[in-house]
Chain A
Amino acid sequence: MPFRLLRFALSGKYPEPRMFRDRNRLKSSYDAVIVGGGGHGLAAAYYLARDYGMTNVAVLEKSYIGGGNTGRNTTIIRSNYLTAEGVKFYDQSVRLWQDLSQDFDLNLFYSTRGHFTLAHTDSAVRTMRWRAEVNKHYGIHSELVDADGVKQACPQIDLSCGGHAPILAALYHAPGSIARHDAVAWGYGRGADQQGVEIHQQTEVLGITVKAGRVTGVETNRGEIATPRVLCAVAGFTPRILQMVGLRSPLSIHPLQAMVSEPMKPWLDPIIVSGSLHVYVSQTARGELVMGASLDPYELHSTRSTLEFAEGLASHLLDLFPFLSHVNVVRQWAGMTDMTPDFAPIMGKTSIDGFYLDAGWGTWGFKATPVCGKTMAYTVANDRNHELIQDFSLSRFANYRLVGEKGAASVGH
């Protein structure tokens, strides 16, 4: 091992192969431009090239790939949603996840853990039963388990939660999983790159040219590009891109914070979520606890962290696991989420020809990465909304056809 490390110090050039090529020149035109080099944008690029043969495609990322919400989420993957549209959509995504490591020849550390959503009140128990029945109807493994079932899977838990919010039952979702989020962006990036897609980092979009209701080009900090198709997959930056093309949306931007503990011996196998206590927690392969809570309560375009958040989350986590009182927090961070009023995404075609939107993913976008890539690639290639995303279009608001996906992030709403 030391000799392998020495190679990096002595070699003038980086001695290992890079995940993808560094492109030093933007071409003057592309068949499609994808704005945003996160998981969603790179997945769309990958499936556009692989399934539809569109390889003259550029992915523009203003920072580095996977540096936005793809690298800031808490990596939970599940499909135990409440509405028919949601359940079908996320189930497809979970299936895609399961084969992804092999598709990429890259270890995503995809780890199926089982997912418990705790119910502390009678009304929460009713909602859990409702979600379990909707899930079962669509053939998804979810069931209501009682408090003993929770204790069996997670013996360390304090079922009384300090006495003020006793756990009555839980929605158990067997396929609930976690994965290594950076690797997802790298895997899709490498896959797209190998098929000829160009990934341009440090390339910021400054404007989008629309002529007679059609997209004709993109203006960047590295020059202008002509293109008939633009896919916008930029999460918290979506309103700024929409302003460039003159579209309005119901998105509201809120920071979502998370934090991670020091590494410990493996003790927590399942993923534990509590809506009432506003906490979700899982233990990574490295032994750290990854923890998150609900959104910051007002609009803010920033990824700052707050002490209020860390204190609030820690106190709720101690309700569940009092023995963690000596464990240190090592990192805290935030991402900018684009929330919709009905907790469902905004996907597909827009009123501008050639401008496609993949946004409104708020706090629940990571788990949908593969299926978003696939359905958006279909939509861009055929200029027709994929059937799985028909209900998610931007026009649903003008038509008063909201989706109402309250199972979206399990906490905070």
Chain B
Amino acid sequence: MVCPVNGARPVSEFVCWGEVRLMLDPNAVNDATWADYVFNRNSVPDIKREWWCHTPSNTWFIAERNTQTDEILQTYLYNGDAA
């Protein structure tokens, strides 16, 4: 896996933190919508944008990965675009 700061490193140095999602405002939504946000996931194989962390350097970044073939298409630092 290629860390945007440290370059190519063994995948065991990285932790995946799940798909990039926009956090809902818990005060603005009802319980059912909040439960959907908290628990439900889109687990159909696809090309997904995910949060990853290079743990030795604590670099958080985004990886675009095919969850069926495990191919990493690109990695880049978060640029404020969460959705």
Residue of A nearest to B45 (CB): A301
> B45 to nearest A CB, angstroms?
4
Contact of A298 among B16, B31, B41, B68 (CB under 8 A): B16
A397 within 8 A of B: yes
The distance in angstroms between the C-alpha atoms of A239 and B44, with both chains bound, is 5
Contact A249 B70 (CB under 8 A): no
Tell me the interface secondary structure of chain B in the complex.
mixed
Tell me the interface secondary structure of chain A in the complex.
loop
Contacts A243-B44, A301-B45 hold; do A397 and B70 have CB atoms under 8 A apart?
no
The distance in angstroms between the C-alpha atoms of A377 and B43, with both chains bound, is 27
The distance in angstroms between the C-alpha atoms of A299 and B16, with both chains bound, is 8
Which residues of B lie under 8 Å from residue A341 when comparing CB positions?
A: 39
The distance in angstroms between the C-alpha atoms of A253 and B36, with both chains bound, is 18
Q: What is the size, in residues, of chain B's interface with A at 8 Å between Cβ atoms?
A: 22
B35 within 8 A of A: yes
B12 within 8 A of A: yes
Contact A302 B44 (CB under 8 A): no
Contact A297 B67 (CB under 8 A): no
Contact B16 A297 (CB under 8 A): yes
Contact A301 B68 (CB under 8 A): yes
Contact A240 B41 (CB under 8 A): no
> A335 to nearest B CB, angstroms?
15
A274 within 8 A of B: no
Contact B36 A301 (CB under 8 A): no
B79 within 8 A of A: no
Interface residues in A230-255 by Cβ distance below 8 A to B read: 239-240, 243, 248-253
Give chain B's interface residues, CB within 8 Å of chain A.
11-12, 15-16, 18, 31-32, 35-36, 39-45, 48, 50, 67-70
Cβ contacts A to B, 26 pairs, < 8 Å: A239-B42, A248-B40, A249-B40, A250-B41, A251-B41, A251-B43, A252-B41, A252-B43, A253-B43, A253-B45, A297-B16, A299-B16, A299-B48, A299-B67, A300-B67, A301-B67, A302-B68, A308-B11, A341-B39, A397-B35, A398-B32, A398-B35, A398-B36, A399-B35, A400-B31, A400-B35
